[in-house]
Amino acid sequence: MTKNEKIEVLTEDGVFHIFAIDHRDVLTNVIEEKKGRVVSKNEVLEEKIRIIQALDNLPSANLVDPFYFLDNKKLDNRLDMANLLIGIERFNYDMDKVASGLDYLTTDISIEELSKSGCNMVKLFVLYNSEKAIADEMDKVILYVQNECEKYNVPFLLEPILCDFEEKDFLRLTVDMLTRLKKFKVDIYKILFPGNLKEKSYKENLEICKEINELLQTPWILLSSGVPDNEFKLQLEIAGKAGCCGYAVGRSVWGKYICEENLDDMKSIFKDIKDTASRHCQKWS
């Protein structure tokens, strides 16, 4: 399969409807709080699988982590590698644990091995600030992943998240970050909503998203970052009208429902987000 064919598998009618459950510490902490005790790795996996299965076929793809879902490099047999994105960073959103160089990447499986197993996309999360030294370290990691993905014909999704900044500088630094990252060969970007629903009008936020879309000249999807689902739907509507081609949503959907017996409301939340994207988002190609 070509890269484009692999990417298309992860969409529904060209739009990404990705359910993100690659969280480790955050999700584990929620489970332990609900149960009132320390839980095993297998217990976390079982809860993740239960949540995925509850959504049936609503997502076009699921974003998972190799730490829980792979055992000795083998995927849990209840999942299909073809409709998964695999996160390949090791430290899961924790800036205190960011390592330098290739120590940043998982040791559970390589990109070559993922390619041979039928993986259709890898996701790399990086903390980034173009005005800080961390950018140089992350550039090395991004370049390595880019080259491995090119070598083994695996689509590359990059999720760059600003770190160590003041809120007033968010948009400026987002533009600087994405401008700097254009030197890499990225197939899809996964980014935070670049506007501000509380401080800017609908029209102003739309113009900001259009600016980002014009800057990237690469397909991009919106990540939810745990905001309330109604807020995320409005973000998605605006971003979609500007050129965004879908979303990856995790905590905004599963946040309230971990360890809850009835998951019907969770499923309804995902469906509403999916309907919003289907109405407003653009096809990726």
CA-to-CA separations, 186 to 121, 149, 219, 245, in angstroms, rounded = 11, 10, 9, 15
Query: What would the two tokens of residue 48 be?
Result: 């993740």
Tens of pLDDT, residue by residue over 249-260, are 999 999 999 999
Examine the pLDDT at 92 and tell me if it is beyond 90.
no
Instruction: Please state the rounded mean pLDDT for residues 30-55.
Output: 96
Query: What would the two tokens of residue 7 be?
Result: 């990417």
Whole-number average pLDDT of the chain: 94
pTM strictly above 0.75: yes
Tens of pLDDT, residue by residue over 107-142, are 899 999 999 999 999 999 999 999 998 899 899 999
Tens of pLDDT, residue by residue over 134-189, are 899 899 999 999 999 999 999 999 999 999 899 999 999 999 999 999 999 999 99
Tens of pLDDT, residue by residue over 202-219, are 999 999 999 999 999 999
107 contacts: CB under 8 Å, gap ≥ 6: 90
